[in-house]
Chains A and B, each alone.
Chain A
Amino acid sequence: MIKNITLGQYLPGSSIIHRADPRTKIIITVLFMVVLFIVSSIWALLAAFACVAGVFLISGISFKYAIRGMKPVLFIIVFTMILNMFFTDGTVLIRLGPVRITEEGLILAAVVSMRVFLLIASASIMTYTTTPITLTDGIEKLMNPLKKVKFPVHEMAMMMTIALRFIPTLIDETDKIMKAQAARGADIGSGNLLQRAKSFIPVLIPLFVSSFRRADELAIAMEARCYRGSEGRTSMRVLKFNRNDVAIFSFFCIICAGILLIHYLI
């Protein structure tokens, strides 16, 4: 039932993108998002779109799978598109009573929806090709300078690791409980808003209870293995930039420059 959410799941593979250092991927994703916000011409966004599609090809993730994973956010994209289409002033193209569509509105709708789509797609490339554990490793390393100002970087990263680690477990658990309650005749997620909210109680309460139980068990297991935070801890996997990362990074810079050029010239 709930298992169809595939956005953000890691898909095993051995492409150059899978093998890249997580820090490279994080930095590139963030920079790419910045670029997406800078450019506002449709041509530049189309170029960015082509690049994202290219990266998907290289990473070996099927388009069909990626698009299906994006279904849940499609609603947001369509919503922003409609808002922009109908509520932008400018040269009127079509008028139907109080509803009017302007040229500027159409362009803005296209730009905004493309931007949202690309933001999600580029972030999902990162999560599709990186295991949650390496991802948090990367984040921890990137945030290391913050330790100077007494920011609990390691603890944050540990929390993220645990949270990510338990997402699939919780999804499984939710699925199981939903099925068990459905087998007893519960209609989950139907009826009006109030009924719908109420129908989730038989799922949420057992889920909460089991989450607390799990958290407690995990805490005991960690203490039993003498876990006590970051002081003097070493890492099993040591992250290292290599030639591969340099190549990816330079290639990415060229692409960004190209997109920005298109934006400023056209």
Chain B
Amino acid sequence: MDNIIIAKNISYTYMKGSPLEKKALDDVSLTMKKGEFAAIIGHTGSGKSTLIQHLNGLLKPDSGELVVAGLETAGRDLKELRKKVGIVFQYPEHQLFEETVYKDIEFGLLKQNIPDEERARRIKETASILELSESILQKSPYEISGGQKRRAAIAGVLVLEPEILVLDEPAAGLDPAGTRELFDIVTQLYREKQITVILVSHSMELVGDYASRIIVMNEGRISHDGTPSEIFGLGDELEKIGLGTPQISKLMARLSSFYPGLRKDVFTVGDAQRAIMEYMRAGK
């Protein structure tokens, strides 16, 4: 598999040369393969959002080199880059502006000069994936519910069929059911279209459930990078930088002190269930 993202020692400073200067990225190097489902975690101000804004050239590194989908992000061809990298920002529903949901989803396609038929087909397909009915599509984005707004805004990015989909706290402000629904959609897309997904979150539960790789950021640097079991195995080290392990992992750690032999490297409820069942069967 090819590396779709190659970052070499990138650094970025906000408000350079002013007293309010803030180093947001400090010598970050990272490679990501095509078709990965990675999560970036870190507490507020750790540089997560700055890093993802580099991926489609919204920000350009002060130093270092960043190649995404074969394109230099510091290069001129931003249009091509942004076609390939779709970013869903935090609270994406704040960017809705058209008269109808349909027109809002169409916005990016029109900017890319996609022909009429293709446009209609893609919007229909995306709307069905995100469960936006025909009647919602014809409504104003200001009169539908919060969850529907969120999905409409995400549709506006997905309809561009990006190769890399970046989601910045997509579940913020959604109820648990809405969150599950959204993540099931993303997982389904990930499997069907074989896109690369980058999820930014500080919900350890979600990250443990869906991502196959976790990148931990702290003070503008990548402090850890590995599979969920490797990362959550760190335990205390994560707590030190203001992040916790999923609650179910904590529970399993406690349980295993009473029942030696019970698996500890568990971070989803489903896995925990399986581990306990296994333990009980082995005990018999």
Residue positions of A touching B, CB distance < 8 A:
1, 3, 6, 11-12, 62, 64-65, 68, 173, 176-177, 179-187, 201-202, 205-206, 209-210
B18 touches A65 (CB 8 A): yes
CB-CB under 8 A for A202 and B18, given A182-B82, A185-B82: no
* Stretch in B87-95, B215-223, B254-262 touching the partner: B87-95
A183 touches B96 (CB 8 A): no
B142 touches A183 (CB 8 A): no
**Interface residue from A1, A62, A64, A176 paired with B94 (Cβ < 8 Å):** A176
A176 touches B89 (CB 8 A): yes
- Nearest-neighbour CB distance to chain B for A176, whole angstroms, equals 7
B58 touches A185 (CB 8 A): no
* Stretch in B106-114, B126-134, B174-182, B205-213 touching the partner: B106-114
Cβ–Cβ < 8 Å partners of B83 in chain A: 185
Interface residues of B in 70-94 (CB under 8 A from A): 79, 82-83, 85-87, 89, 92, 94
Further pairs besides A11-B19, A68-B17: 13, Cβ < 8 Å = A65-B19, A176-B89, A179-B53, A183-B56, A183-B86, A184-B82, A185-B79, A185-B107, A185-B111, A186-B107, A201-B97, A202-B95, A206-B96
Q: In the docked arrangement, what's the CA distance between A67 and B14, Å?
A: 18
Cβ–Cβ < 8 Å partners of A184 in chain B: 82, 95, 107-108, 111, 156-157, 160
Q: In the docked arrangement, what's the CA distance between A185 and B157, Å?
A: 10
Cβ–Cβ < 8 Å partners of B142 in chain A: 209
B17 touches A180 (CB 8 A): no
**Interface residue from B15, B94, B107, B112 paired with A3 (Cβ < 8 Å):** B15
Cβ–Cβ < 8 Å partners of A68 in chain B: 17-18
CB-CB under 8 A for A179 and B97, given A65-B17, A184-B157, A185-B82: no
CB-CB under 8 A for A183 and B97, given A64-B17, A65-B19, A209-B142: no
Q: In the docked arrangement, what's the CA distance between A172 and B83, Å?
A: 25
23 residue pairs from A and B, CB less than 8 Å apart:
A3-B14, A6-B15, A6-B18, A64-B17, A65-B19, A179-B53, A179-B58, A179-B89, A180-B95, A181-B107, A183-B157, A184-B82, A184-B107, A184-B111, A184-B160, A185-B79, A185-B83, A185-B111, A186-B107, A187-B111, A202-B95, A202-B97, A210-B94
- Nearest-neighbour CB distance to chain A for B101, whole angstroms, equals 14
Q: In the docked arrangement, what's the CA distance between A179 and B59, Å?
A: 10
Cβ–Cβ < 8 Å partners of B156 in chain A: 184
Q: Can you list the 4 inter-chain pairs with the closest CB atoms, starting with the nearest? A: A185-B111, A184-B108, A205-B97, A180-B95
A206 touches B82 (CB 8 A): no
A181 touches B95 (CB 8 A): yes
B82 touches A183 (CB 8 A): yes
- Nearest-neighbour CB distance to chain B for A2, whole angstroms, equals 12
Q: In the docked arrangement, what's the CA distance between A170 and B173, Å?
A: 21
Q: In the docked arrangement, what's the CA distance between A1 and B57, Å?
A: 12
Cβ–Cβ < 8 Å partners of B89 in chain A: 176, 179-180, 183
Residue of B nearest to A60 (CB): B19
- Nearest-neighbour CB distance to chain B for A65, whole angstroms, equals 5
Q: In the docked arrangement, what's the CA distance between A187 and B112, Å?
A: 11
Cβ–Cβ < 8 Å partners of A201 in chain B: 97
Cβ–Cβ < 8 Å partners of B1 in chain A: none
**Interface residue from B20, B53, B97, B160 paired with A185 (Cβ < 8 Å):** B160
Q: In the docked arrangement, what's the CA distance between A12 and B18, Å?
A: 11
- Nearest-neighbour CB distance to chain A for B12, whole angstroms, equals 13
B58 touches A183 (CB 8 A): yes
Residue of B nearest to A183 (CB): B87
Cβ–Cβ < 8 Å partners of A187 in chain B: 111
CB-CB under 8 A for A185 and B108, given A176-B89, A206-B95: yes
**Interface residue from B15, B19, B95 paired with A177 (Cβ < 8 Å):** B95
Q: In the docked arrangement, what's the CA distance between A233 and B119, Å?
A: 60
Residue of A nearest to B112 (CB): A185
Q: In the docked arrangement, what's the CA distance between A166 and B86, Å?
A: 30
Q: Which of the listed residues B14, B18, B53, B85 has the most CB atoms from chain A within 10 Å of its own CB?
A: B18
Q: In the docked arrangement, what's the CA distance between A185 and B87, Å?
A: 11
Cβ–Cβ < 8 Å partners of A183 in chain B: 56, 58, 82, 85-87, 89, 157
Residue of B nearest to A181 (CB): B95
Q: Which of the listed residues B20, B95, B108, B156 has the most CB atoms from chain A within 10 Å of its own CB?
A: B95
Residue of A nearest to B162 (CB): A183
Q: In the docked arrangement, what's the CA distance between A49 and B85, Å?
A: 50
**Interface residue from B18, B19, B111 paired with A186 (Cβ < 8 Å):** B111
- Nearest-neighbour CB distance to chain B for A198, whole angstroms, equals 12
- Nearest-neighbour CB distance to chain B for A154, whole angstroms, equals 32
Q: In the docked arrangement, what's the CA distance between A11 and B21, Å?
A: 12
- Nearest-neighbour CB distance to chain B for A170, whole angstroms, equals 13
Residue of B nearest to A11 (CB): B19
Q: Which of the listed residues B19, B107, B160 has the most CB atoms from chain A within 10 Å of its own CB?
A: B19
Q: In the docked arrangement, what's the CA distance between A177 and B107, Å?
A: 14
Q: In the docked arrangement, what's the CA distance between A127 and B142, Å?
A: 38
